[in-house]
Each structure stands twice: as C-alpha cells, then as structure tokens.
Structure 1
Amino acid sequence: MIRLVAVLLALLPAPLVAGDAVTSGTGAMLRGLDKVSGQTEDFRVATGGTAEIYGLDVALGDCRYPVENPTGDAFAYLTIWERGQRQAIFDGWMIASSPALSALDHSRYDVWVIRCMTP
C-alpha cells in the first residue's frame, strides 16, 4: 500500500507535488457506470458518508484538492464493496484527472471521481 501511495504521489502533476497547498472538501462528486446498460449517474457523497452506486456501496474517507484550483486535480480516498459483502473490492486514493491510474476493477460497474465539493 505504501508503494502505491508513493507511485501515485510521483505521478501527480508537478505543481501539486512541488508544495502547493491542498485542502479537504466537504464531500465528493462521483460518477458511476453500469457497463451492461451503459447508464451513468452522478452521486454526491459527504466526507465520512456512504453512497449506494448501482450494486456497490462507496464510502468516502476524504476528498482533497489544490487550494489555488478547487475544480482541478481532485483526489479522493474511497472504499468500495459489493452490496451485502464485507470485503472491499477497492480501498485507496482515486485521482479525478487520471482515473485509470488507480481504478476500480469490477466486471459490471465503474466508479470515478469528478471533483470535490467545496464549502
């Protein structure tokens, strides 16, 4: 897990890694995709809250964004599990500008971060 975080930090845009201040949002805007029906839907999740996105439960630990650019480069800590199951199928940081970098691997559903909600 530490290696994954180190790789993610190394791949973040240079200004963010170079010391730009980041802050936490009040929640996150997530997008869910049902790969079978092709349906997409946007969901708001408060920090510390859980949302039902199709057949998945998604918990948001934190959503952070650059102070100077609240609409850009959001990254959120998500824990995702199939409804009714106990074991998480995803647990980590997901980056809005690079969703494939740390993506949910599920046969039917996809979830990615759109942006953080700001106060």
Structure 2
Amino acid sequence: MRIVTGAVLAGLLALAATAQENAVEIGTGAVLRGLDKVNASVTDMDLQSGQSTEYGRLTVQLNECRYPEGDAAGDAFAFLTITDTASETELFSGWMVASSPALNALEHPRYDVWVLRCKTAG
C-alpha cells in the first residue's frame, strides 16, 4: 500500500478544486509516453479508454482521460492502472497529470510512463 505524501495530496486537492471551477470533458482515449531507462528508448502509446497495452514488462491500462473544456492538449489527466506483466503485481493505480508528471508518478527502476494528451472523438 502506498502512502500519499502531503505535497501529493495537496496537489491532487488543488487539481480537484480546479476541475470543479472549470468545466472538464472526458476524452475517448489518451496518448501516453513510455521511457525504457535501460536502453533509452521512448515509445508513444495511443490508447482508447478501457484499453490496455503491453510496454516492456508492464501492462498499461487507460481507464479514463479528462481535459479542460475545449482543450484536449491542455492540462490532461488520466486514470491509469499499471501492472507488472509477469507477476501481475499492481505497480500504479491513480490519476496522472500531463502538466505535472512527477506529482503522482509510476515508481519503477526501469520504466517511466506519463500522459501527453487526451484524444477526442472529433
């Protein structure tokens, strides 16, 4: 079980307050970026909501992507579940914010995953 630090909690509360003040839309999917730190390769992952993909030894599932009304490339935030493919151990489950990827990040010795933007139907 992960302990949420005060700074992360404050950031998430600020994000929630901002979301309440400004209208948000739900995207049809998201574009994520993965970094393999061992061989320095970068991969973009184009996922629909509810879809998952394998990235190296990880399974990355996009549950939902939200963004400021009318600006899908704006401050997108996505709910991701990331598991170790071999052991099926959940490594990350929560919201990642595109503009602040370190705020609530996957902690893994080999891989980084972060949100670039939401996708829309149009």
TM-score by length of 2: 0.85
Question: Equivalents in 1 of 2:65, 2:47: separation in Å?
Answer: 10
Match of 2:79 in 1: 77
Report if the CA contact (8 A) 2:57-2:86 is conserved: no
Return closer, same or farther for 1:86/1:39 CA change in 2, 3 Å cut-off.
same
Counterpart residue number, 1:87: 89
Q: Which residue of 2 aligns with 1:104?
A: 106
The answer on 1:67 being equivalent to 2:73 is no
Matching residue of 2:12: 9
Within a 5 Å distance, the mapping from 1:21-60 to structure 2 comes to: 21-60=23-62
Tell me how far apart the structure 2 counterparts of residues 28 and 96 of structure 1 sit (CA, whole Å): 11
| Aligned-residue offset at 1:54 | 1.8
Can you list the C-alpha shifts for 1:71-117, whole angstroms capped at 9, x where unaligned?
Answer: 11000000001112222000000000000000000000110000001
Aligned match for 1:114, one of 102, 113, 116: 116
Deviates more, 1:51-60 or 1:29-38: 51-60
**CA 1:18 to 1:92, structure 2 compared with 1: closer, same or farther past 3 Å?**
closer
Q: What TM-score comes out, normalization by structure 1 length?
A: 0.87
Per the TM alignment, residue 19 of structure 1 is displaced from its structure 2 partner at its CA by 1.4
Count of residue pairs the alignment pairs up? 117
- 3-state SS in 1 of match to 2:70: coil
| CA RMSD across the alignment | 2.2
Please say if residues 29 and 46 of structure 2, whose CA atoms lie closer than 8 Å, have aligned partners that are also in contact: yes
Structure 2 gap segments, 5+ residues each: none
